[in-house]
Amino acid sequence: MNARTLSAGLAGVALISLALGCERGNPVSTMLASRPAGLSPNFSASASNQHMRWDIISVDFGTGTLSASGMASARANLDLSKITLTGSGTFRSNPGNPRDVTGGGTWQTFDASGGPTGSGSYTVTGFVSFTLAPGTPPLPHDNIGNLADARAGLLAVWIAYSDGSEGTLVVSCHLVGTPNDVFEGVTASKGFVDYWNREAPAAPPGNANRTAFHVID
């Protein structure tokens, strides 16, 4: 979740504008290799063995409320074909040990002109990595979990698509105070196509390309 693109208005919307903007996306290979720098040992350890939830979210800008069941998109190289995803899931941030992982959602692909090329569901099949990032929630209301349990960070998981293809999903969440090199949104690969160029969060009243993490223990 991130708000540099949001316009000022009501107090809740003004808070959102501080946290829902974003930076240019990076290829999946870069995201899997990246780690935020400058985190204290205590901060990094705070993610250890926590049961976490991830969501592609929607936002009610009138009330400043985040909810599950949003959508997010990313584009492929050169031809700008696109994938749009919904989804949520859980995982355990437990470095050095097996990670419980669940989740899934829906997918749609489009050609460069916007014509649909496929659709279906996907399932999370494996955990790759999660790295916590600093940041505080910008929204006054949270329909997913406790507002105090919201987190910023970067998650990568393996996914299986309903058409038999496989790939990766990268979920990145940027909150107030999160370093600007942490983007907001998702990227994904599907087969040999890497949808690496995430679409930026839509300015209100648009409602797309936002994410959230919550501690659920």
**Tens digit of each residue's pLDDT (9 = 90 or more) over 29-51:** 333 333 333 333 333 434 567 89
**Domain residue spans in the chain?**
11-215
User: Cα separation of 92 and 133, whole Å?
Assistant: 16
pLDDT tens per residue, range 130-184: 999 999 999 999 999 999 999 999 999 999 999 999 999 999 999 999 999 999 9
Closest CA to 53 of 124, 121, 2, 107: 124
42 SS3 class? helix
Nearest residue to 123 (alpha-carbon basis) of 70, 162, 170: 162
Euclidean distance between CA atoms 46 and 217, whole angstroms: 13
H/E segment holding residue 131:
strand 116-133
Question: Tens digits of per-residue pLDDT, 47-95?
Answer: 567 899 999 999 999 999 999 999 999 999 988 899 999 999 999 977 6
Q: How far apart are CA 202 and CA 136, in angstroms?
A: 20
